[in-house]
Amino acid sequence: MVRWNISPVHDDEGLLTHFVSVQQDISDYVESERQGRLFARALHASHDPILITDQEDKIVFANKAFSDVTGYCYEDLIGKTPAILRSGQQDDASYEKLHASLKNGEPFRAVFTNRRRDGSIYYAEQSISPIPDSQGKITNYVSVSKDITELVLREQALREAASIDKLTGVSNRLHGDTVLKKARTEAIEKNQALSLIVADIDFFKQINDRFGHLTGDRVLRDVAQTLRKSVRTGDTVIRWGGEEFLIVLGNCGLEQAIALAERIRASVERQTDHEVGQVTLSLGIASLRTDEAIEGTIERADKSLYEAKRGGRNRVSVSREL
């Protein structure tokens, strides 16, 4: 295939005297354009989101699937960087690993927590690879991803179901054991205080015997919700067994734990069930010793709980053993 470039030639008086034509073989150019259009159509036909950036991380291409998943149209994306998708839920270390890998000319694969244009979160399994030119210099980067949001949410729901007590909605004992071990390790490594509160509903057996188990279950749920609302963000409420709850207070000294326990006790005391009437709690507190296994701290908190019971119930008792 050829391209003709025809130009008129005029004499000194401006009269047209003849034409000059230049013929150029553009077969390679046309083939290149054809291949380019074919390539673009193929990328748009892919069901997997595909993104291509230049050396400066600016987006130069995004296929239709990418727009469908993210909610950004093609014009919104071109010239922007992939940072437009950052959700704020991914730690900086993940992006540092990504950039280090690509800088070394190595592909990178990971699951990213991204944010769509409408603000919703989605999870993408992405494979990002550098594209070198004929001399081996990296000119672009291509990302091929897969939206795995449904899979991630399903796995999260299964993990939550396995860790949550069905009746009360707080952590179950199995998950609680993991929380306790992690909390102790963190307290030792960071040289922080760790306190535990063991709380027990007063006269709960009498509530069940007199009003029935359905009423008892309602009281348990109401108390558990009061505990969840009373603790700090980051604290964990565990249904430890029956009507007993264990509260894990990370980075919390004994005096702070006592104040929190008193607030919890007062909150539950103000709670009135339409059948049972007033419901109260007894609470025992202990703080972790540096040379102590977490089971020892639980045991001391449990002893304090029974001191509160023996002392008349609806009170807080503290283990101050050194």
243 is catalytic: yes
Contact predicate 106/80, CB 8 Å: no
Q: How many CB atoms lie within 10 A of CB 310?
A: 10
In sequence order, what DSSP letters do the residues of 263-317 get, joined into one string?
HHHHHHHT-EETTTEE--EEEEEEE--TT--HHHHHHHHHHHHHHHHHTTSSSEE
Q: What is the dihedral of CA 262, 263, 265, 266, to 10 degrees?
A: 120
Catalytic residue among 13, 75, 243, 292: 243
What is the phi-psi region of residue 311: left when phi exceeds 0, alpha when psi lies from -120 to 50, beta otherwise?
alpha
Sheet holding 281-287, edge to edge: 236-241, 244-250, 194-201, 281-287, 316-318
In sequence order, what DSSP letters do the residues of 158-180 get, joined into one string?
HHHHHHB-TTTSSB-HHHHHHHH
Could you give the residue numbers annotated as active site?
Answer: 243
